[in-house]
């Protein structure tokens, strides 16, 4: 299995391009199920999850052509409505086929995604909302069997908890429902906003985009006509590289980013002593004269993102003082802690709160990736560790980071992918 070999201690320099956002691209692929014609989607990230989702859609009957970061896809001839376990278990985001398939066909079977390293990852809120729209939901042999023989009906949906893919599923379901749907306590992440903007440009009346309450007038199962779509930049990939610049206290520039999507991350880094030059589509992070500790509590957008928690924990091992990190969204998102401790980090856990001692000397080691963002935290720690670190199970990284070692090499890191 491939692993990344990283020799720590090098400063970074230079600039890289940020790829399209995985978590924006996935719902956009799912929403092709709602269209009667071919869609042209550009700025797709070249990551494993995108290929997995395309394979799932192909199994359903979609036809597509992917050239570099540009996709031509036509899901109008879909004939199957079963999203099989063997793909869904590999990628939880497959659950995003549930809303569109049910809205279009009035029936579908989607495997329960199951949990993952960071938590149970239930989908009860997705299912409850679809039932409120008139669906009958049955769980049988690990599959969600959803039926709405007269199509879904517009209604008022209130999410007890903010759920990103839950919101995306119901937005897509409401787009083809009969009548209007009000969604209260809806997620406001940039990827949810882009999905709404694309649907609105393609003929769905949507009000409240970017707020926590959406009003969607459904087309009553009339399929949509597409416009060209460009995937927004990946704010988490960008945040990860800002942490690479921060942890090595270097000056680096990220191009093709949307700094507005990174406000909470940039403010946190400024609080820790780092400075920035920000332009229309680029961010330059500059060295801190003194890197100081901080306190973090993860929350929904526009708050501090849970997907940046692991990366900041690695950074906090290097700053002056002790930092406190509270993970509020997932019950088990500290899998990176034990691996960071093996490199010498001094981190104490108390339920969902981590206390991270700063100015810690990290030593290279063989470490194991467990989930996408935890893996990137290990890479960041390796950049400043003494000696060599080998990060194993990097298929986790390949799911969500395009050419991570190539981008870090371009910034001057001593990192290479080793096939063993």
Pair 384, 361: CB distance under 8 Å? no
- Alpha-carbon distance 338 to 342, whole Å? 6
Position among 163, 253, 264, 318 found at the interface with ligand EPZ (CB under 6 A): 163
- Alpha-carbon distance 250 to 10, whole Å? 9
**Considering 116, 196, 243, 360, which one is annotated as catalytic?**
116
Q: Which of 312, 338, 252 is nearest to 14 (CA)?
A: 252
Shortest Cβ 93–ligand EPZ spacing (Å): 4
Shortest Cβ 206–ligand EPZ spacing (Å): 19
Binding pattern to ligand EPZ, positions 342-361, x when CB under 6 A? --------------------
Shortest Cβ 49–ligand EPZ spacing (Å): 8
Is residue 306 involved in binding ligand EPZ (CB under 6 A)?
yes
Is residue 400 involved in binding ligand EPZ (CB under 6 A)?
yes
**Please, which residues bridge with residue 215 across strands?**
182, 207
3-state secondary structure of 177: coil
Shortest Cβ 74–ligand EPZ spacing (Å): 23
Position among 307, 339, 402, 405 found at the interface with ligand EPZ (CB under 6 A): 307
Shortest Cβ 102–ligand EPZ spacing (Å): 15
One-character DSSP codes across 5-17:
EEE-----EEEEE
94/294 with CB nearer ligand EPZ: 94
Whether 116 is a known active-site residue: answer yes
Q: Which of 51, 105, 96, 104 is nearest to 73 (CA)?
A: 51
Dmax over CA atoms of the chain, in Å, equals 64
Collect all residues with Cβ–Cβ distance below 8 Å to 203 and sequence separation of at least 6: 219, 224, 225
Pair 385, 370: CB distance under 8 Å? no
Is residue 329 involved in binding ligand EPZ (CB under 6 A)?
yes
Site for ligand EPZ in 5-44 (CB under 6 A): 23, 26
Is residue 398 involved in binding ligand EPZ (CB under 6 A)?
no
- Alpha-carbon distance 183 to 159, whole Å? 8
Residues with catalytic annotation?
116
Can you give the binding site for ligand EPZ, defined by CB under 6 A? 23, 26, 93, 119, 121-126, 161, 163-166, 306-307, 329-330, 372-373, 400
């Amino acid at each position: 299995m491939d692993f990344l070999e990283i020799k720590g201690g090098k400063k970074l320099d230079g600039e890289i391009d940020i790829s399209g956002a995985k978590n924006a691209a996935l719902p956009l692929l799912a929403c092709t199920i709602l269209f009667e014609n071919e869609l042209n989607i550009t700025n797709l990230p070249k990551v494993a999850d995108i290929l997995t989702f395309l394979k799932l859609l192909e199994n359903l009957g979609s036809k597509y052509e992917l050239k570099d970061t540009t996709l031509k896809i036509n899901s109008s001839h879909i004939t199957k409505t079963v999203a099989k376990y063997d793909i869904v278990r590999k990628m939880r985001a497959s659950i995003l086929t549930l809303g569109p398939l049910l809205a279009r066909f009035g029936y579908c079977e989607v495997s329960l995604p199951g949990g993952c390293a960071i938590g149970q990852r239930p989908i009860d809120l997705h299912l409850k909302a679809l039932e409120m729209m008139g669906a009958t939901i049955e769980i049988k042999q690990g599959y969600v069997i959803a039926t709405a023989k007269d199509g879904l009906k517009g209604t008022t949906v209130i999410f007890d908890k903010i759920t990103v893919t839950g919101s995306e599923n119901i937005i897509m379901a409401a787009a083809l429902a009969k009548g209007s749907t009000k969604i209260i306590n809806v997620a406001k992440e940039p990827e949810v906003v882009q999905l709404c903007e694309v649907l609105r440009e393609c003929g769905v009346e949507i009000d409240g985009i970017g707020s926590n309450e959406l009003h969607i007038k459904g087309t009553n199962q009339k399929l949509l006509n597409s416009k060209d779509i460009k995937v927004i930049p990946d704010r988490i990939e960008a945040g990860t590289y800002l942490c690479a610049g921060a942890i090595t206290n270097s000056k680096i520039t990220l191009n093709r980013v949307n700094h507005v999507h990174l406000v909470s991350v940039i403010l946190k880094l400024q609080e820790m002593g780092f400075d920035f030059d920000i332009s229309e589509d680029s961010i330059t992070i500059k060295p801190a004269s003194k890197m100081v500790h901080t306190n973090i509590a993860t929350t929904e957008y526009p708050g501090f993102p849970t997907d940046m928690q692991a990366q900041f924990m690695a950074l906090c091992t290097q700053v002056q003082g002790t930092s406190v990190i509270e993970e509020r969204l997932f019950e088990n998102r500290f899998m990176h802690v034990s691996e960071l401790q093996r490199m010498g980090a001094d981190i104490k856990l108390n339920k969902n709160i981590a206390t991270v001692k700063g100015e810690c000397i990290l030593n290279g080691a063989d470490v194991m990736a467990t989930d996408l963002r935890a893996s990137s935290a290990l890479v960041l720690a390796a950049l400043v560790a003494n000696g060599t670190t080998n990060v194993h199970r990097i298929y986790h990284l390949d799911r969500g980071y395009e050419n991570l070692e190539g981008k870090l090499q371009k910034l001057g890191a001593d990192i290479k992918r080793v096939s063993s």
